[in-house]
Amino acid sequence: MKKQMKRTVCLLLAVLLLPFAVLSVGAEAVAISAPVDADTPAMELPCRAAILMDAKTGQVLFEQNADEALPPASVTKIMTLLLVMEAVDGGRIALSDPVTVSAHAASMGGSQVYLKEGETMTVEEMLKCVVIASANDCAVALAEHVAGSEEQFVRDMNARAAALGMTQTNFENTNGLDDTAVNHVTSARDIAIMSRALIAHEKILAYSGIWMDTVRDGSFGLTNTNRLVRFYRGCTGLKTGSTARAKFCISATAQRDGVSLIAVVMAADTRDGRNQIAAQLLDYGFANFCTFEAAAGELSRAVTGGVSSVCPLTYAPFAATVQKGASTRVETVIELPETLTAPIAAGETVGRVVYRLDGKEIGAVPIVAAECVEKIGFGTLFWRILQQFLLL
């Protein structure tokens, strides 16, 4: 009887220890941004540079000389606005904060709302002035309010540009005035990148979509420099700019039927020509593309050799730009082992969800562990063996 009991205990021990001899192999998954499977149109646009980007996915739908560093004029203010909105949403400043105008801010030329030294205006009023009327004086005043000085704010602008991967950008001021600038430049691609980051702060669209407004208790009128807001269906913004050196530039954002686009035009010869090119790019995007979206999800897998027998898993939502009508042909494939081996760290990638269109992979998201599952220790293992033995 004792020999039979020993054999049973040994057998149970061997079975329970077996998983510890197995190495854990986790599948690495990295989100993939596949190019849109569509023929690039044979468009030769009458401007120095241009790009069309899907705002949700970041995928480029058209580009022309998109990486040349060029003067952007007031389109510069997209980065200024981004840093201000990040300060607002981060709780460092409030829209209701009063901003006192410095002599330096009041001295700005070009498009302005004629701020006076010592005048106060709220952050929100100044944001409206910058977005709608492209006010250079308000751009400097906001920069000083956020960073203490325009010089520090410009350093922050360049640091943020680098963090966003804007490789062709160098800012020398907050507003794009280039009469004394030496190397104040960016590219069409970089403008699209910072535009995408800015419109992620949805409050900015409440300002950029306004055609006309007032400040100073209604005594000073503002009219949007972006005429597409009034004349192009679905236009939501974003920023225009023009100087003798930069010519006519724009970053135009628009949304229709769930598709959100960014069209950037640099160095067009005329204001109307710039607007027509932007509208042409947006028309092309809306006519030919749609956005495929998949929701986030949850899964679970059995675990061997762990203190828990099951590990909950999650994966993030996914979006990709595809040709119009193709979204119904996207297939979802789960690449995940049937069982996982402890230890498993929370957030560890264990598989991926792959999205394929007509057999071609268009993207993937990692499947990660929602909780950690520690490897079972000797004490816990012994207690389990004892429990099973006592139940015999």
Give CA–CA dist 227/208, Å, rounded.
Answer: 11
Q: What is the largest CA-CA distance in the chain?
A: 101
Q: Which residue's structure tokens are 């829209």?
A: 95
pLDDT of 379 reads: 57
Walk along the chain (392 residues) in steps of 10 and give the mean pLDDT of each run.
44 38 29 45 88 96 97 98 98 97 95 95 97 96 97 98 98 94 97 98 96 94 96 97 97 96 98 97 97 95 90 96 94 95 94 96 96 78 61 56
- The active-site residue, picked from 74, 111, 187, 260, is 74
Domain ranges for the chain: 2-30+295-390, 47-288
HSE-up of residue 293 (Cα within 13 Å, Cβ side):
11
Closest residue by Cα to residue 335 from 307, 308, 305, 301: 301
CB 138 within 8 A of CB 123: no
- The active-site residue, picked from 102, 111, 128, 134, is 134
**Which CATH number is associated with domain 47-288?**
3.40.710.10
pLDDT of 386 reads: 60
The secondary element (H helix, E strand) that includes residue 161 is helix 150-163
Closest residue by Cα to residue 136 from 119, 150, 146: 150
Q: C-alpha distances in angstroms, 70 versus 158, 189, 268, 319?
A: 16, 11, 12, 31
SS (H, E, C) 272-293: HHHHHHHHHHHHHHHHHEEEEE
pLDDT of 385 reads: 64
> Tokens for 23?
């190495």
DSSP sequence for 74-102: GGGHHHHHHHHHHHHHTTSS-TT-EEEPP
Q: Which residue's structure tokens are 């995928």?
A: 59
For residue 108, the SS3 value is coil
Q: What is the DSSP letter of 183?
A: S
- The active-site residue, picked from 77, 128, 239, 247, is 77
pLDDT of 341 reads: 93
CB 309 within 8 A of CB 293: no
Residue 1: how many other CB atoms lie within 10 Å: 5
pLDDT of 311 reads: 95
What residues contact residue 24 under an 8 Å CB cut-off, 6+ apart?
Answer: 340, 341, 342, 343, 344
pLDDT of 382 reads: 59
Residue 134 catalytic? yes
pLDDT of 376 reads: 78
* Torsion angles phi and psi, residue 100, rounded to 5: -90, 130
pLDDT of 247 reads: 97
CB 69 within 8 A of CB 93: no
Give CA–CA dist 366/236, Å, rounded.
Answer: 33
Closest residue by Cα to residue 184 from 77, 48, 46, 50: 77
pLDDT of 27 reads: 28
**What end-to-end distance do the CA atoms of the chain give, in Å?**
13
- CATH H-level superfamily of 2-30+295-390: D-Ala-D-Ala carboxypeptidase, C-terminal domain (2.60.410.10)
The reply to whether 47-288 shares the fold of 2-30+295-390 is: no
**Beta-sheet pairing, 235-243 with 247-256:** antiparallel
